[in-house]
Structure 1
């Protein structure tokens, strides 16, 4: 079963209908390896669903985040969304600020904990933002 099929199954298991709009949002996120803004998602969905509202897109994205089938992060005060990684194990991301593509990174927490003797870390977030090789070549 693909990660996309698992996401659809998770929706159904939690009592959500798999409407055309929901399925298209998930397809879009699961078939790209990048973070996208809700506006980007809406702009793409407008081709199939001309009347789709920003509220519909945001509501569905936040439902997907609450079900752990979509990840969210924030850059410059704007929420970004992508399909939940099917990479096994704890990891983080490099996110291209130009095209949104992501690369998985190993967690640096072990390296950093040595700088906090006597402290206990309960949770953490680690993301790197910059330009990918492809976007750097375009400059």
Structure 2
């Protein structure tokens, strides 16, 4: 029998895999349509999106398991951090002079956007269809 923690982690892992799969498709399409800079832009964009979303989702999941009362506050702080981290990553890539020569700006941005939407869609779909109990009854080992 799976535990609640295992099922919640499974939802997050499957959402990450869906976003990575979308990124692989973008890399292939970018390489075929626009060449190497587009493919590398899609690779970097996918890694940025999946890395930032995975870090946020798994840390919020860990806090929700350890301190459920603090999970909403931590989720809001994590969202703010994710927005800032996404902006900082894009500024870092831009200031390093990698855009337009080694990395196609449009494919990098597109991969970030597609990665974010696929992650959110997959996580919403998987979370709403997962059978994760919201509470435990006393007979299941909860408090008396």
TM-score tier (shorter): 0.3 to 0.5
- TM-score, normalization by structure 2: 0.33
Higher relative contact order (CA 8 A, sep 6+): 2
Identify the structure with the greater helix proportion.
2
TM-score scaled by structure 1?
0.34
